[in-house]
A and B are shown apart, each in its own frame.
Chain A
């Protein structure tokens, strides 16, 4: 069965510094992986997705993620954090082509 593990429940960074949100996956075959962001009182929004094309995936708002099969990881990064990036981030794997399996989430705090 597919699953994802988000290694940090909270990450705190200063504005302008890099962001790293960690995610490991478990899958018996090549997975399709996503990152979603959830701002307070807003719906979940897709940041980026990996579907076995390029291993480095670029998303919206300057985020990107790299699929590393050898490490079973799909970490989310951004070179420079902005205050508006403060939100909950979910790493997601797809099961049976339609069922999204969410991680437990990482809350990103951005200090001014």
Chain B
């Protein structure tokens, strides 16, 4: 595709509901990242995949958050038993090569999650 695609663009969930957020990276991109952006703040790192391997999940806020990229392409971020503090924009980014030093990360438009 032309860019990183995320779906849904908007999601309203009742507290306690499970949600799944999808990211379609640019075809052929090795690296995939998830970030969380709270209202009025800068994005914060959640997790990093290199192909299908999850190399860093240190930013996931709790064990209710789970991310996967089983075939090294599409990724899903799942949040179980959503809480109000999970309300944020979830951003996905992909880059052609490993890491970020010698390549550019392209971001999707994000999924805005509102937990009510």
B42 at the interface (CB under 8 A from A): yes
Q: A96 contacts which chain B residues (CB < 8 A)?
A: 56
**Contact B43–A43 (Cβ < 8 Å):** no
B106 at the interface (CB under 8 A from A): yes
**Contact A42–B109 (Cβ < 8 Å):** yes
Residues of A within 8 A of B (CB): 32, 41-46, 51, 90, 94, 96-105
Look across to chain A and name the residue whose beta carbon is closest to the beta carbon of B109. Answer: A43
**Contact A43–B41 (Cβ < 8 Å):** no
| CB-contact partner of B42 in A41, A43, A105, under 8 A | A105
A4 to B106, alpha carbons, bound, how many Å? Answer: 21
Q: A100 contacts which chain B residues (CB < 8 A)?
A: 33, 35, 43, 45, 100, 105
| CB-contact partner of A90 in B33, B42, B55, B108, under 8 A | B42
Quick one: which of B89-116 are within 8 Å of A by CB?
Answer: 91, 93, 98-101, 104-110
